[in-house]
Amino acid sequence: MEARGIGKGFTGMGWEENVRKVVPYTPGEQPDKEGTIKLNTNECPYPPAPGVGRKAAQLAADKMRLYPAFPEETELAQELARFYQIGRDELFIGVGSDDVLSLAFMTFFRSDRPLFFPDITYSFYDVWADLYKIPYETKALDADFVIRKEDYMQPNGGIVFPNPNAPTGILMDVGQVEEIVAANRDVVVIVDEAYIDFGGTSCLPLIHKYDNLLVVQTFSKSRAMAGMRIGYAMGDSRLIKYLNDVKYSVNSYTLNYAALQLGAESVKDEAYFKESCAKIIRTRDNAEKRLAQLGFGFTKSYGNFIFASHSSVPAREIFEKLKQNDIYVRWWGKKRIDNYLRITVGTDEQMEALYGALERICGHQSNAPLQSND
Amino acid sequence: MEARGIGKGFTGMGWEENVRKVVPYTPGEQPDKEGTIKLNTNECPYPPAPGVGRKAAQLAADKMRLYPAFPEETELAQELARFYQIGRDELFIGVGSDDVLSLAFMTFFRSDRPLFFPDITYSFYDVWADLYKIPYETKALDADFVIRKEDYMQPNGGIVFPNPNAPTGILMDVGQVEEIVAANRDVVVIVDEAYIDFGGTSCLPLIHKYDNLLVVQTFSKSRAMAGMRIGYAMGDSRLIKYLNDVKYSVNSYTLNYAALQLGAESVKDEAYFKESCAKIIRTRDNAEKRLAQLGFGFTKSYGNFIFASHSSVPAREIFEKLKQNDIYVRWWGKKRIDNYLRITVGTDEQMEALYGALERICGHQSNAPLQSND
């Protein structure tokens, strides 16, 4: 590096002093080997609604020369507002829920008091807090990995948690969510409902009662459109206005023409959406039985994944051996959860391949004592 | 608002105190009336390369269920690296050049010293500076709207300017750019080359000589893909790494599957790209003659637009009257440039319609004295 600096004109790289240095979030691996079974990033195993494919074939290249429409003025916004029975001024659309959450962190968490979120949760929260210099405090889940609502009743600068929580899949009922929101009227509470469509009940109706609640959802899981990057937030129109002001101070145009066109088609097809979620729930229910027979314990998941721990074989070992079999699941190696795997619910066929591999890796453990956390 | 707060449970909207309040950038209008002649946002009047349309028809809906590839690992990055003869580690790709610039502001301009940029320039710079709390000082262009390089030789926390400058279109030669970069080795200098393909010479080769130079370009103008949101930065691999670290701390996946696929097709077709730029340059050259005959003076533009002022009719009046004729150009009403219009170079047919309307609005001014700024 020294040598290189000298090669470029004797700079000491003085500019490096004033660089924002951060440790980025590490997403799950994206192997592109044919035949890989990808159960590591909670993608949907089924394709998007058929209308999405039909519309894709009709995208007009000539439209691409123009800047895209503002999301709030598109058919996508219209369809989402209709689907959720909310006003278009109660809806914000971004480039995946990560974009929405990142902007919301930047917009709403400006207090000197700490932001609260669980110790075991979506691992992007502390990355955004660090990036935007937001003070924060994590609140430990209880021994069963459940969020203790009392922890969120102390003075704070904001609250964020996923419901169901990730990577545990544990659902908080709407009554408890309301208690937290009601007890924190002077800060913004973000409920990250990325996984709400797999059996949970959304707290969305509460946005009409509490102006400090922002509900965030995504097209990446239940709508099978992770590749198109669409996420959205719903809340009081003033929350949405502040979010839009910051968004339009970062980048006027974020969702491209294709995302806007195809997203709308997905929302139109309610029957396909419901059937797709129902299939995943059925496969998840079956997976619980099969994994239990293989010696796994797990939390009760309301996500499109199962958070599981084996009674005798270490998670890391299973993770590595599955990878050798071209089956990818997620393992973090973090405190408290280093003996757990997060396994995305795939197709029934993919899951059978997984069970077969697990049987080889873990041996016949059907009589082993179960280690369950719920 | 009071009443509403009360309706929602007696909140005083305490959360509002800690909201980041900003004044967003205002982009040009996007009228969607059929037959409108849109010469207000510097879009390309010609469609993207034919390969883009062909590829669009082949987008696979099933691929959309997966998260998109990381931009740096895609064919798009490969094609750009080949086109510009740079390493893939010297390239960063974002959601339009606004995304790239916004991330670069956040990443590199962290000094207590002020960021420098021209007083008349792309009006997003001060918005980002305000958003990220970056101290800044604008440097006045000279009476002919030319950047005075000496102004950028004083102690500062970073430098950014477009080349050619916007909205003047005035080009700085590479030698002068190099003087500025060389005199500021302890800060990052961003050269925003959104309009470089319309006759200017890029300072790109300097990135191999100066590790503090970041060159930003876009697919929105010369590549006719504003609707797909693709921009990129080129610079020393360490600059790019820092930029990526921040990017991956904001949102792991930004460019969607469609943008990645279609962007690559655009870069492959060099002949189309060159011909498209050449056509715009020819129309611009002709527009200079025609506008002069109509009584306009203008700077020598190297952009896909002309920055023009009429000898007798106020810019605002022309702007309003053109709009009544469904012809949109850009007018800011800001100090120093409130008698100027920025007119995007359209097709020859669109420009003829413009000249016709201007003739009606400004009368026959062909003998009026010209007011030229170059």
Percent of chain A having pLDDT more than 70? 94
Q: Choose among A19, A157, A225: nearest Cβ to B65.
A: A225
B14 Cβ contact partners less than 8 Å away, ≥ 6 residues apart: A185, A186, A187
Mean pLDDT of A335-347: 97
Using pLDDT thresholds of 50, 70 and 90, give the confidence band for residue A30. Answer: confident
Using pLDDT thresholds of 50, 70 and 90, give the confidence band for residue A7. Answer: very low
Q: Choose among A14, A15, A253: nearest Cβ to B96.
A: A253
Using pLDDT thresholds of 50, 70 and 90, give the confidence band for residue A101. Answer: very high
Cα nearest neighbour of B245 on chain A: A24
Residues in chain A with CB shorter than 8 Å from the CB of B210 are 8-9, 11
Domains and CATH numbers, chain B: 37-46+271-362 (3.90.1150.10), 50-268 (3.40.640.10)
Using pLDDT thresholds of 50, 70 and 90, give the confidence band for residue A152. Answer: very high
**pLDDT value for A368:** 46
Main-chain dihedrals φ then ψ at residue A313, nearest 5 degrees: -95, 125
Cα B107 to Cα B115: distance, rounded to the nearest angstrom: 13
**pLDDT value for B24:** 86
Helices A257-268 & A75-84 angle (0-180, nearest 10): 30
The answer to whether residues A97 and A217 touch, using CB atoms and an 8 Å cutoff, is yes
The distance of B35 to chain A (nearest Cα, Å) reads 14
Q: Choose among A15, A131, A252: nearest Cβ to B187.
A: A15
CB contact under 8 A, B252 and A102: no
Q: Choose among B9, B46, B63: nearest Cβ to A210.
A: B9
The distance of B356 to chain A (nearest Cα, Å) reads 24
The distance of A315 to chain B (nearest Cα, Å) reads 25
In terms of pTM, does the model score above 0.80?
Answer: yes
Interface test with B, best of A6, A16, A64, A211 (most B CBs within 10 A): A64
Residues in chain A with CB shorter than 8 Å from the CB of B207 are none
The distance of A137 to chain B (nearest Cα, Å) reads 18
CB contact under 8 A, B110 and A20: yes
Q: Where are the alpha helices (DSSP H) in A151-305?
A: 174-182, 237-250, 257-268, 270-293
For residue B337, the SS3 value is coil
Does residue A2 have a pLDDT over 80?
A: no
Residues in chain B with CB shorter than 8 Å from the CB of A221 are none
Residues in chain A with CB shorter than 8 Å from the CB of B8 are 208-211, 236
**pLDDT value for A363:** 82
The distance of B172 to chain A (nearest Cα, Å) reads 23
N residues, chain B: 374
Does residue A5 have a pLDDT over 90?
A: no
Residues in chain B with CB shorter than 8 Å from the CB of A210 are 8-9, 11
Tell me how many degrees the CA angle B228-B229-B234 measures, rounded to the nearest 5. 130
> Beta strand pairing status for B296-298 and B305-310?
antiparallel
pLDDT in tens, A216-256: 999 999 999 999 999 999 999 999 999 999 999 999 999 99
pLDDT in tens, B68-117: 999 999 999 999 999 999 999 999 999 999 999 999 999 999 999 999 99
Reply yes or no: is the peptide bond before residue B167 cis, omega within 30 of 0. Answer: yes
Using pLDDT thresholds of 50, 70 and 90, give the confidence band for residue A24. Answer: confident
CB contact under 8 A, B250 and A38: no
Cα A199 to Cα A278: distance, rounded to the nearest angstrom: 8
Distances (CA, A) of A304 to A164, A222, A276, A288, A315: 10, 8, 11, 12, 19
Interface ipTM above 0.90: yes
Q: Choose among A13, A47, A158: nearest Cβ to B62.
A: A47
Cα A297 to Cα A294: distance, rounded to the nearest angstrom: 9
**pLDDT value for B3:** 38
Cα A43 to Cα B115: distance, rounded to the nearest angstrom: 42
What is A50-101 written as a DSSP string? HHHHHHHTT--GGGGGSPPPPGGGSHHHHHHHHHHT--GGGEEEESHHHHHH
Cα nearest neighbour of B44 on chain A: A65
CB contact under 8 A, A228 and B109: no
pLDDT in tens, B359-368: 999 985 444 4
For residue A316, the SS3 value is helix
Does residue B4 have a pLDDT over 50?
A: no
Q: How many other CB atoms sit within 10 Å of the CB of residue B149?
A: 15
Cα nearest neighbour of A210 on chain B: B8
Question: Which two three-digit tokens encode residue B330?
Answer: 């850009």
The answer to whether residues A141 and A148 touch, using CB atoms and an 8 Å cutoff, is yes
Half-sphere exposure of A20 (CA within 13 A, CB side): 25
**pLDDT value for A332:** 93
Does residue B26 have a pLDDT over 90?
A: no
CB contact under 8 A, A246 and B15: no
Tell me how many degrees the CA angle A50-A52-A53 measures, rounded to the nearest 5. 70
**pLDDT value for A202:** 98
Question: Which two three-digit tokens encode residue A212?
Answer: 């400090």
Cα B57 to Cα B39: distance, rounded to the nearest angstrom: 29
Cα nearest neighbour of B100 on chain A: A251
Tokens 């609640």 map to which residue? A213
Interface test with B, best of A38, A206, A256, A266 (most B CBs within 10 A): A256
Cα A252 to Cα A235: distance, rounded to the nearest angstrom: 21
In terms of Cβ atoms closer than 10 Å to its own Cβ (0-12, 13-18, 19+), residue A175 is exposed
Nearest C-alpha neighbor of A113 from the set A65, A159, A51: A159
Mean pLDDT of B258-271: 98
CB contact under 8 A, B212 and A15: yes
Residues in chain A with CB shorter than 8 Å from the CB of B89 are none
Cα B94 to Cα B199: distance, rounded to the nearest angstrom: 24
Average pLDDT over all residues of chain A: 93
Q: Give the distance, in angstroms, between the CA of residue B213 and the centroid of all CA atoms in the same chain.
A: 18
Q: Choose among B5, B43, B248: nearest Cβ to A67.
A: B43
Mean pLDDT of A13-37: 86
Cα B85 to Cα A228: distance, rounded to the nearest angstrom: 30
The amino acid at B203? C
Cα A239 to Cα A56: distance, rounded to the nearest angstrom: 33
**pLDDT value for A79:** 98
Cα nearest neighbour of A228 on chain B: B256
Cα B312 to Cα B258: distance, rounded to the nearest angstrom: 48
Does residue B371 have a pLDDT over 80?
A: no
CB contact under 8 A, B182 and A224: no
The amino acid at A170? I
pLDDT in tens, A47-68: 999 999 999 999 999 999 999 9
The distance of B150 to chain A (nearest Cα, Å) reads 20
Residues in chain A with CB shorter than 8 Å from the CB of B186 are 11-12, 14-15, 17
Does residue A373 have a pLDDT over 50?
A: no
Percent of chain B having pLDDT more than 70? 94
Q: In this complex, how many residue pairs, one in chain A and one in chain B, have their CB atoms less than 8 Å apart?
A: 318
The distance of A10 to chain B (nearest Cα, Å) reads 9
**pLDDT value for B364:** 56
C-alpha torsion sign, points B140, B145, B148, B149: positive
**pLDDT value for B31:** 84
Does residue B65 have a pLDDT over 60?
A: yes
Distances (CA, A) of A146 to A162, A166, A168, A333, A340: 12, 11, 9, 20, 15
CB contact under 8 A, A102 and B212: no
Question: Which two three-digit tokens encode residue A166?
Answer: 């990730």
**pLDDT value for B13:** 72
Q: Where are the alpha helices (DSSP H) in B95-173?
A: 96-108, 125-131
CB contact under 8 A, B14 and A99: no
Interface test with B, best of A20, A208, A210, A230 (most B CBs within 10 A): A20
Q: Choose among B9, B44, B99: nearest Cβ to A65.
A: B44
For residue B99, the SS3 value is helix
Q: Choose among B102, B130, B257: nearest Cβ to A251.
A: B102
Q: Where are the alpha helices (DSSP H) in chain B?
A: 2-7, 50-56, 75-84, 96-108, 125-131, 174-182, 237-250, 257-268, 270-293, 315-324, 348-362
Cα nearest neighbour of A57 on chain B: B57
pLDDT in tens, A158-210: 999 999 999 999 999 999 999 999 999 999 999 999 999 999 999 999 999 99
Residues in chain B with CB shorter than 8 Å from the CB of A38 are 66
The distance of A56 to chain B (nearest Cα, Å) reads 6
Q: Choose among A48, A212, A252: nearest Cβ to B61.
A: A48
Cα A95 to Cα B255: distance, rounded to the nearest angstrom: 9
The answer to whether residues B214 and A51 touch, using CB atoms and an 8 Å cutoff, is no
Does residue B1 have a pLDDT over 90?
A: no
Cα A330 to Cα A343: distance, rounded to the nearest angstrom: 6
Tell me how many degrees the CA angle B107-B110-B113 measures, rounded to the nearest 5. 145
For residue A126, the SS3 value is helix
